[in-house]
Structure formats: C-alpha cells, structure tokens
C-alpha cells in the first residue's frame, strides 16, 4: 500500500486553445490536456462529447467537435471531469488511475490507496 501523502497540491488545467472553423470547434492542445490529467484522450473526448451532446473526433493531438462552443463550456466540463474522474475523493490528490474490473470502473489512488467506484461514460 502506498504511503499516505500529507502535501496538498492543486492541479491546474492549462489554458484551452480553441479555434472555430465553420461549424466545428477545435481544441488544439487536447493531447497536452490529456497528458496532464494522465488519462486516455479518447476517454476525455467521450466524456465531453456526451456532455455536449455532439459528435467529436481526436486527430493529430487535436479534438474536433461538431458545432460552435465557447471556451467557458469546455473549461467547466473539464473541471467536472477532473472532480469525477481524476481527483481522489478521499485525499483530494490527482494521483489516480481508472481500473476496470469486470463491468465496473474504479478510481484507484496512488497516494492513499483508496478505491472508489466511478460512473461509466
């Protein structure tokens, strides 16, 4: 079991770089965001596309969404993703990973060793 960490640190999301081309919204630094959160880009993309009720694709480190969306919408949804799928509910640290066992998904904390169930996307 990992040793319990007492240091509190806050995970800051990087600024989201958005470009609107026609009726598509492109997040150009999507790969950087997924690397910082230590999550699969497809997992984050699936969460965002379901929450925004639109189609989305991941290509060359960029996320492309069908429709025009504002930066604030993405910032708010990424903050929600951070709270539900990244930050440990016990120790509030971002040192977690998502583990799938049978049909259930668990958020496993590397800092305190806690396991919490997470809603499947």
Residues 35 and 77: beta-carbon distance below 8 Å: no
Report phi then psi at 70, rounded to 5: -95, 160
Query: How many Å apart are CA 13 and CA 115, to the nearest integer?
Result: 24
What's this model's pTM, rounded to 2 decimal places?
Answer: 0.85
> Which option is the CATH number for 16-86: 3.30.70.3150, 3.40.50.2000, 3.40.640.10, 1.10.8.50?
3.30.70.3150
pLDDT tens by residue, the chain, 121 residues = 444 444 445 677 889 999 999 999 999 999 999 999 999 999 999 999 999 999 999 999 999 999 999 999 999 999 999 999 999 999 999 999 999 998 899 999 998 888 998 988 8
Residues 77 and 88: beta-carbon distance below 8 Å: no
Three-class SS of 93-105: CCCEEEEEECCEE
Instruction: Return the structure tokens found at 114.
Output: 């806690």
């Amino acid at each position: 079991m990992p040793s319990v960490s007492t240091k509190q640190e806050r995970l800051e999301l990087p600024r989201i770089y958005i470009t609107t081309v026609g009726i598509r919204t492109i997040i150009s630094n999507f790969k950087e965001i997924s690397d910082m959160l230590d999550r699969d880009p497809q997992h984050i993309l699936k969460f965002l596309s379901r929450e925004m009720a639109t189609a989305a694709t991941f290509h060359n480190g960029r996320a492309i969404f069908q429709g025009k969306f504002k930066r604030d919408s993405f910032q708010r949804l990424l903050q929600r993703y951070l709270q539900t799928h990244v930050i440990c509910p016990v120790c509030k640290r971002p040192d977690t990973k998502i583990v799938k066992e049978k049909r259930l998904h668990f958020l496993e904390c590397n800092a305190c060793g806690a396991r919490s169930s997470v809603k499947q996307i």
